[in-house]
Amino acid sequence: MAGPKVVVIGGGAAGMIAAGRAAELGATVMLVEKNQTLGAKLMLSGKGRCNLTNAEEDMETFLAAYGPNGKFLYSAFSRFGPAETLQFFSSLGLETKVERGKRVFPAHGGAERVINCLFDYLKRGRVAVLRNKEALNLEIKDGKAVRFILRGQELEGDAFIICTGGKSFPKTGSTGDGYRFAKRAGHHVITPAPALCPVRLAEKWPPQARGLNLRNVSLSLVKEGKVISKRFGELLLTHFGISGPIAMDMSREIEDASASEGAGLLLDLKPALSAETLKARIGRDFEKYSSMMFKDSLRDLLPGGLIPVMLEKSSVEPVA
């Protein structure tokens, strides 16, 4: 007896896992992807290394990383959390390793290895894959989803799983289609806001040091003179502003704060040092390099890429 027919819309990580699992449970599965390539965003995760999950075992700590609405995810993560994610990929033959901050990566091969494991998972379940097929509309009849209208094709099914992602990276196919489908099914959709994304700054100096990765720095979000959020770790300077783990982690809060006046960011290059200790350190360096140019006296304190910026901000002539 043939199993139920399940149609999965979206060929990212979630779509591939959902399709493979439905097939494991006996369904006949069709996976629809509007691009030629499956798992496009996986290739971007962790700079191509593919940050699979976080090994934090305490659920409250884990959910706190998702902000004030993190508890919404409690039920889902209780069923399939970090431990289950690691078990799943282990069952596919993927070895993993835990790095700083409890971030989990493939032990070998990066994102490409992960995608190949998921491809094999689909093949084992005999999942049919439709590529270059854009889902245009979800048809509802008598309160039930009955078919998806694709470009040039219609697909009926007993169940439909929408795995289209959000609007985070349109070039990979995440253009917000799922919100439209959810509305068709009667769901209320909250207007999406940027999160886990780079931050564009009004400051003009970051492009001067673009590509510079700053480690062990702190980034504070300040509103009306009060620090309302703070992160410690790595930050990347770009041609438009800042990126990297701490900037992206704080991006939702930055977006919320930017809607009102009096908000700004503070970058501390030496957060482990008190103001007094830093002042003494600078004094010792100036004394040590007293016979050299000012810019050379900063080389023990700052990355080379930041020295020209600091010279400009300090108004000290570089030849003095």
pLDDT tens sequence across 173-230 = 889 999 999 999 999 998 888 888 899 999 999 999 999 999 999 999 999 889 999 9
Euclidean distance between CA atoms 309 and 297, whole angstroms: 14
Average pLDDT on 69-96 reads 94
Cα separation, 252 vs 279, whole angstroms? 34
Q: How many CB atoms lie within 10 A of CB 304?
A: 11
Token code pair at residue 303: 């990355």
State the Cα torsion 229-199-71-15 to the nearest 10°. Answer: -160
Which of the four pLDDT bands, split at 50, 70 and 90, describes residue 18? very high
Tokens 């032990």 correspond to 107
Distance in angstroms (rounded) separating the CA atoms of residues 145 and 8: 13
Which pairing describes strands 153-156 and 144-150: parallel, antiparallel, or unpaired? Answer: antiparallel
d(Cα 163, Cα 125) in Å, to the nearest integer?
Answer: 18
By mean pLDDT, which of 10-19, 64-73, 262-271 is the weakest?
64-73
Residue 147 per-residue DSSP state: E
- Report the percentage of the chain scoring pLDDT > 90: 73
Is 207 within 8 Å of 239 (Cβ atoms)?
yes
Q: pLDDT category, 320, cuts 50, 70, 90? A: very low
Residue 302 burial class via C-beta count within 10 angstroms: exposed 0-12, middle 13-18, buried 19 and up? middle
Q: Is pLDDT above 50 for 235?
A: yes
Instruction: Tell me, letter by letter, the H, E, C secondary structure of 90-133.
Output: HHCCCCEEEEHHHEEEECCCHHHHHHHHHHHHHHHCCCEEECCC
- Would you state the structure tokens that stand for residue 195, as one six-digit string? 């999160």
| Angstrom distance (rounded) from CA 44 to CA 196 | 13
How far apart are the C-alpha atoms of 88 and 55, rounded to whole Å? 14
Tokens found for residue 231: 């992160």
pLDDT in the model for residue 319: 55
- Nearest alpha-carbon partner for 209 in 243, 181, 176, 248: 243
**CA–CA distance, 284 with 301 (Å, rounded to integer):** 11
Q: Which residue has the higher pLDDT, 260 or 231?
A: 231
Residue in the structure block whose two tokens are 């783990």: 245
Instruction: Sort residue 211 into left (φ over 0), alpha (ψ -120 to 50) or beta.
Output: left
Q: Is 62 exposed, middle or buried (0-12, 13-18, 19+ CB in 10 A)?
A: buried
For residue 150, is pLDDT > 50? yes
Q: Which residue intervals of the chain bear CATH 3.50.50.60? A: 5-184
The domain 5-184 having CATH identifier 3.40.109.10: the answer here is no
Taking alpha carbons only, the member of 232, 243, 236 closest to residue 209 is: 236
* Residue whose C-alpha is closest to residue 195's, from 70, 35, 57: 70
Answer yes or no: are the C-beta atoms of 241 and 203 closer than 8 Å.
Answer: yes
Q: Assess whether pLDDT exceeds 60 at residue 250.
A: yes
Evaluate if pTM is beyond 0.75. yes
Arithmetic mean of pLDDT, 58-78: 89
The phi and psi torsions of 256 (rounded to 5 degrees) equal -65, -45
The tokens for 103 are: 């971030």
- Is residue 251 within 8 A of residue 197, CB to CB? The reply is yes
Residue 141 confidence (pLDDT): 92
